[in-house]
Amino acid sequence: MTNLIRKLAWCAAVVVTAAQAAQAQPYIPASGQQVIETLPRRGDPLQQELRRLRAQLQAQPGDLTLASDIARRYIKLARSETDPRYLGYAQAALAPWWALRAPPPQVRLLRATLLQSTHQFTPAIADLKAVLADDPKNPQAWLTLATIQTVQGDYAGATTSCAHVSSLSIELVTVSCIAGVGAATGRAAASEQLLDLTLERSPNAPEELRVWASTTLAEIAQRLGESTLAEQRYRRALTLAPRDSYLLGAYADFLLEQRRPGEVLMLLADQTRIDALLLRRALALQQQGNQRRQLDADIAELTARFEAAMQRGDSVHQREQARFELLLRRDAGRALVLARQNWEVQKEAADARIYLDAALRAGDARAAQPVVAWLAQHHTEDVAAARLIQQLNKGRR
């Protein structure tokens, strides 16, 4: 998810939420006055423009330029509105070319962006490498590739991809890209310092880039145990992007870590259409401990959504599902299975923490060794992960 790219990585866990909800058990509101969802206003100028463009595309379905423009607009709208259905609309706009082995370059790049948002990393990388073979100076392709490589733990590949970005985009993009790798490979303090300085001297950078940089800085500070600084940075990012789903989830996790569930409930009051955010609300309700009926309803809804995903063979939400099983259903064994499967696909800080926590609560320190070894190999700095490893080691004595 550009910041276009980095944000799509952020939203990967929620891309198929609408489809899940459609196949989940029906939800019956408590009363006719209860607001289930707020739909976009038909009078909204952006929605009117998109309807006009879609009508034009329907009349000219082979118009590649128009289709690509619509897809890009919907990808951007999916981020700003935290609504994954717009990503489906983006794919629909590209339907005439979507299944082609070698579609036009602009379609291939958009297809890679959409594929990686659902963790289809192998075909996404294939598309990106094909784009770069034809256009080695395409910054968006390099940045998308760097994002995937970082998520997968291919830090050498990500560093190379970020280096290509350096001569093709502004400094804040390059430094944000490199800082994401450095923060995972024993260079968190240096990465934090460089990115903070670069952000300060980039006041005119696009808003999306400043949100990306601010969020990255907040996460680095949180991992290093600098809670006051982390909160300042999360709040700064939220002033720029109050509806960014990844940012909301990250800040909610920070608040949960600080045992501030009431603030989580206020933060996510109208955001529970997104599975990952509904999960955070349920965890806040559990932490607060005085709204059992609402907590039970959220657990039932999450159960239905995760079961629908499993029936479709969808593994995008394994990290969230592992956390759900571990903390809300208290099934450490099931959580450990899901965390292990998730670790095979992606290796971000949150993936390591849920794996370690599941192994600890399951009383299986040996199961955590792949993660422990990985973090040691890459000199990853994360106070929460270090605390879990310390507890696991105590349990083995």
Per-residue pLDDT of 353-395, as tens digits, reads 999 999 999 999 999 999 999 999 999 999 999 999 999 998 7
**What is the overall mean pLDDT for the chain?**
88
CA dihedral of 140, 142, 148, 151, whole degrees rounded to 10: -110
Query: What are the pLDDT digits (tens) for 131-190?
Result: 999 999 999 999 999 999 999 999 999 999 999 999 999 999 999 999 999 999 999 999
Query: What are the pLDDT digits (tens) for 178-221?
Result: 999 999 999 999 999 999 999 999 999 999 999 999 999 999 99
Supply the pLDDT for residue 102.
95
The first and second tokens of residue 309, run together, are 């995903």
Q: What average pLDDT score do residues 261-282 get?
A: 94
Q: Which of 76-85, 161-170, 313-322 has the lowest mean pLDDT?
A: 76-85
Supply the pLDDT for residue 7.
42
Query: What are the pLDDT digits (tens) for 93-144?
Result: 999 999 999 999 999 999 999 998 888 999 999 999 999 999 999 999 999 9
pLDDT band for position 309 (50/70/90)? confident
What percentage of the chain exceeds 90 in pLDDT?
75
- How many separate helices (H) and strands (E) can be counted in the chain? 23, 0
Q: Annotate 92-155 with DSSP letters as a single string.
A: HHTHHHHT-SS--HHHHHHHHHHHHHTT-HHHHHHHHHHHHHH-TT-HHHHHHHHHHHHHHT-H
Model-level pTM greater than 0.95? Answer: no
253/282 Cα distance (integer angstroms) = 12
Looking at the predicted structure, is the pLDDT value of residue 44 above 60?
A: yes
388/326 Cα distance (integer angstroms) = 15
In a 13 Å sphere around the CA of 71, the CA atoms on its Cβ side amount to 24
Looking at the predicted structure, is the pLDDT value of residue 267 above 80?
A: yes
Q: Residue 108: how many CB atoms within 10 A of its CB?
A: 22
Domains and CATH numbers, the chain: 1-25+42-148 (1.25.40), 329-397 (no CATH)
Supply the pLDDT for residue 397.
59
